[in-house]
Amino acid sequence: MENGRDGYTHSLKDFASNTEAFCTNGELVGSGGPEKLDSLRENSQRYLRVRLATKILRNEVEKYRKKSQGPVLKRAGALFPPLTQRFFIGLEPDYYYGD
């Protein structure tokens, strides 16, 4: 997980420096100048932090699911084949986007 965070942090720094270079070359600095640059920088950094937090949270929830469901799923998986006359050989979790 640490590697993912480092990658996002690196991306955030690259994005900030690229934004700075883009804006100081005069391409975006029209009306509003430095205020627009500050606003763009703050909003883009906030967006990237939220995206990083979302990714970290999703990974942690998935890790918790795998850890918590293990014993129950293992026992149910052992009982399921005899109950279905071996039509099904096991169980595995299936999650949808909204889960």
Q: How far apart are alpha carbons 88 and 85 in whole angstroms? A: 8
Q: How far apart are alpha carbons 45 and 48 in whole angstroms? A: 5
Is residue 13 scored above 80 in pLDDT?
no
Classify 91 as helix, strand or coil.
coil
Domain borders along the chain are: 2-68
Between 30 and 83, whose confidence is greater? Answer: 83
Render pLDDT for 52-78 as a digit per residue (tens, 0 to 9): 999 999 999 888 887 877 788 888 888
Is residue 47 scored above 70 in pLDDT?
yes
Token pair in block for residue 46: 């906030």
What integer is the mean pLDDT of 3-17?
62
pTM score, whole prediction: 0.46
